[in-house]
Chain A
Amino acid sequence: MTAGSEFGTPCGDETTQSRLSTRVTTRASAFAMVSVFDAEAAHKRAPVAVFAPTVALLSRPKSPGAVGAIFGVTSERSEASDASVVVVNAKLIDDARPKTRFVSRRHTVTCEVEEVIGNRFTAIYWDDDRGARRVRFRVDAVAEEDRPFLEERAEFYWSVGDEVREDGRKATTSLISFRRLSRLESERWHTASRRAEEAAMDLGWALVDCPEVAESFNRRNG
């Protein structure tokens, strides 16, 4: 049985990675009301299906109003209650609007910052044909919030590729990516910390803060 056949939505079969967007509209314990949007027409904000509160999320329900994307929908019938349960794995995404998509394979190399001078910096990357090569960037090519990472010997990924914009125009892009989390509100970080505490209890772990590691070390070493 597939989620699609049960709910009459284009969710695909159990092995298909569907690309439907979800909006959590209510939240109760481990269950959530999830509206499903067609990702291609997400800007219309019209749900193509609404799952009942029996929908269980593998990951915890997000805050009401959050917009996510379903990465794989499966469905199974519970023998005990004969009720259908749809198991979805939802991830938060920033926005459900159509994204700019890359139409050609992007070329990505790992670069190491060599030197930062004024508003320029040089980096070294490895070219299998030509060996180590030096390339010069503008500092303002690095996102403002990434600039703290811009120091000698720091590594980043440099991707160059073609993209097609929403209006059909094509452009060449150069993307500098330092490994980091996306923007995060402090409140969300605290929520993550609280949930990690709960999960750690399940696992029988006691979470520690760095000072406690230090204390433990000091105790062991007298």
Chain B
Amino acid sequence: MTAIEVGPARGVDVRSLADEDVGRVTNEDDRLATSPGLETVELSLFGPGYGECAVVHLGLGRWLIVDSCVQKKRSDPVALDYLIGMGVDPVEQVTHIVVTHWDDDHIQGSAKLAAICKKAELWIPEATRLRDVAALVLSDEIEPQAGLKQLSEMVRTARQTGRRVRLTKEEMELSQACLRSTDPPVSIYALSPSDEDVQAGFRQLMRLIPTLPNGRRTVGRSRHNDFSVVLHVTVGNQVILLGGDREDRGPGRGWQSVHVAFRRRNLNRASVYKVAHHGSQTGDNPSVWTEMAARPLIAVLSPFNRVRGGLPRRSDVQRLCRRAEEVAATSWVEIPPDNVPISSDPIMDADDVVVGESTISDEAAQPPLGQVRCRANARGGRWTIVTMGPAAQLC
């Protein structure tokens, strides 16, 4: 497979740090390690590592963390490494933690994040209060798996310390009055999920919980992107749109419902967009680019490395580069073509596989963690992009 040839980022300060250095810079002269000024807005996107995490500076030393990921073979959330590395006190300075949805690649380390950021408001998807989901997350009777386990631990930690856990749904404002009245003022709105999204997602989830003849129930694979939260963050005159894993669905759902909520709230267009669903075609909708985005637009994304080469595909990158002036990804190591050819090697028979032979590679060979950092003055002006580790500008 041939990777798309991508040169160094254009006109920006690009420094490559070793994987383990991301968020752990100790050289005070290195300006990548400096925390943003009080009036500086920042969006840092981390990935893929084990998932995706966005960290937003809301001005005045306040931070919002959206989703969580960890580095390979580590359990510490990447966001904590990054903030602590800059001298930020996560207890005092992280004001909000938002879980957009509970897919594995968006929630690893979030329980630890919530435990350490003791003063942060915790926001989780509205779908958690669906009775069958709550039975998994809240009861302590059944051990949930994967992402729901993280969510369960997060809620348990909050309950033990008497903290509130709030549920996020469309048109809900996450920022309190004290944030709105500061200089620069801050507002955080959730633009999804809609009730219909939750209902549709729940129907899919239940379809994967067959009731077996003797009354047993099992939960199968499910994607929870119907539940995914989209956030609209305003700091002063700068606007960031965080697309989560939102995908395009039918009327009243997906990006269409996000667009409706955006118009109802009369929100300003975003100049930085965290591309939804790893840049996939299904995560795309024209209204994002024509109705909710300002010009020039910076689009940032994290790839997803799983079956069949992951996301984004080559055509996705080309599409994104047509729609935004600048596109940066947390990793550009391999951008697979649209139709990944199946190896011409003879088809393997699972019964013949022998451990020790090189017929199966280890999935632990994940791409290393990268970071795309965008900063701008809250009062206005251009954004500066810096890429670290394997991250790079794609156009």
Chain A interface (Cβ < 8 Å from any Cβ of B)? 58-60, 91-92, 104-105, 107-112, 122, 124-138, 141, 145-146, 148-149, 154-156, 158, 160-162, 172, 174, 178-189, 191-193, 195-197, 199-200, 202-210, 213-214, 216-217, 220-221
* Known interface pairs A203-B165, A213-B198; A132-B308 also in contact (CB < 8 Å): yes
Is B129 in contact with A200, judged by CB distance below 8 angstroms? Answer: yes
Contact A186 to B215, CB < 8 A, known contacts A60-B140, A136-B350, A196-B135: yes
Pairwise interchain contact A136-B199, C-beta atoms closer than 8 A: no
The 8 A CB mask of B335-350 against A (1 = contact, 0 = none) is 0000011110101111
| B131 is an interface residue with CB less than 8 A from chain A | yes
A109-B363, A126-B309 known; A186+B218 contact, CB < 8 A = no
Contact B143 A91 (CB under 8 A): yes
User: Do residues B307 and A174 form an inter-chain contact, with CB atoms below 8 A?
Assistant: no
Q: Are A179 and B220 in contact (CB under 8 A)?
A: yes
Residue B385 lies at the interface, judged by CB distance under 8 Å to chain A: no
The 5 closest A-B CB pairs, nearest first, are: A217-B195, A186-B215, A192-B141, A192-B139, A199-B138
Instruction: Select the residue from B212, B221, B345 with max chain A CB neighbours within 10 A.
Output: B221
The answer to whether B159 touches A203 (Cβ under 8 A) is yes
Q: Which residues of B contact A213 (CB under 8 A)?
A: 130, 195, 198-199, 202
Q: Which residue of B is nearest A190, CB measured?
A: B135
Measured in the bound complex, the distance between the Cα atoms of B308 and A124 in whole Å is 7
> With A104-B355, A124-B342, A149-B208 as given contacts, are A195 and B216 in contact (CB-CB < 8 Å)?
no
A128, A145, A161, A200: which contacts B361 (Cβ < 8 A)? A128
**Cβ contacts under 8 Å, A111 to chain B:** 307
Known: A186-B216, A195-B138. 7 other contacts (CB 8 A): A127-B361, A145-B216, A185-B215, A200-B129, A206-B129, A209-B130, A213-B199
Q: Which of chain B's residues has its CB closest to A121's CB? A: B350
A195-B340 in contact (CB<8A): no
Q: In whole angstroms, how far apart are the Cα atoms of A188 and B146 in the complex? A: 20
- The CA of A142 and the CA of B55, in the complex, are separated in Å by 41
**B216 (CB) vs chain A CBs: closest residue:** A183
Q: Is B196 among interface residues, defined by CB-CB distance under 8 A? A: yes
Residue of B nearest to A92 (CB): B143
Residues on the B chain within 8 Å of A186, using CB? 211, 215-217
Can you list 6 pairs linking A and B with CB atoms under 8 Å apart?
A: A195-B139, A196-B131, A197-B134, A208-B129, A210-B199, A214-B195
Please, which residues of chain B bring their CB within 8 A of the CB of A216? 195
Instruction: Using CB atoms and an 8 Å cutoff, list the residues of chain B in contact with chain A.
Output: 1, 128-132, 134-146, 155, 159-160, 164-165, 167, 194-196, 198-199, 202-203, 206, 208, 210-212, 215-222, 252, 305-310, 340-343, 345, 347-351, 353-355, 358, 360-363, 365
Q: Which residues of B sit under 8 angstroms from A200, Cβ to Cβ?
A: 129, 134, 138
B307 adjacent to A125 (CB under 8 Å): yes
Residues of A within 8 A of B198 (CB): 213
Distance of A193 Cα from B135 Cα, bound (Å): 5
Contacts of B342 in A (CB 8 A): 124, 131-134
Contacting residues, chain B, for A112 (C-beta < 8 A)? 307-308
* Residues in A neighbouring B216, C-beta threshold 8 A: 145, 183-186
Query: A179 near B146 (CB under 8 angstroms)?
Result: yes
Report the separation of the CA atoms of residues A132 and B343 in the bound assembly, to the nearest whole angstrom: 6
Chain A: which residue is nearest B350 at the CB level?
A137
The answer to whether B206 and A210 touch across the interface, beta carbons within 8 angstroms, is yes
- Are A110 and B309 closer than 8 Å at their CB atoms? no
| Distance in angstroms between the alpha carbons of A205 and B131 in the assembled complex | 11
Q: Are B139 and A196 in contact (CB under 8 A)?
A: yes
A184 to B132, CA, bound (A): 14
Q: Given the complex, which residues of A lie within 8 Å of B155, measured CB to CB?
A: 199, 203
Docked complex Cα distance between A210 and B218 (Å):
19
Known: A134-B348, A210-B130. A217 touches B360 (CB 8 A): no
Selected from B211, B221, B355, the residue in CB contact (under 8 A) with A161 is B355
Among residues of A, the one whose C-beta sits closest to the C-beta of B347 is A134
**In the complex, chain A residues whose CB is within 8 Å of the CB of B212:** 145
**Do B142 and A156 have beta carbons less than 8 Å apart?**
no
Given the contacts A126-B307, A149-B220, A210 and B350 also touching, CB distance less than 8 Å: no
Chain A hits for B135, CB < 8 A: 189, 192-193, 195-196
Q: When the two chains form the complex, which single residue of B141, B211, B354 contacts A195, counting CB atoms closer than 8 Å?
A: B141
Tell me the nearest residue of chain B to A157, going by C-beta: B363
* Contact assessment for B221 and A131 in the assembled complex, using a CB-CB cutoff below 8 Å: no
User: Is B210's CB under 8 angstroms from A60's CB?
Assistant: no
Query: Nearest chain A CB to B196's CB is how many angstroms away?
Result: 5
B347 & A180 in contact (Cβ 8 Å cutoff): no
**A113-B123 Cα distance, complex, nearest whole Å:** 35
Given A180-B219, A183-B216, A186-B215, also A205-B350 (CB < 8 A): no
CA A109 to CA B363, docked complex, whole Å: 5
Whether B167 contacts A205 by the Cβ 8 Å rule is: yes
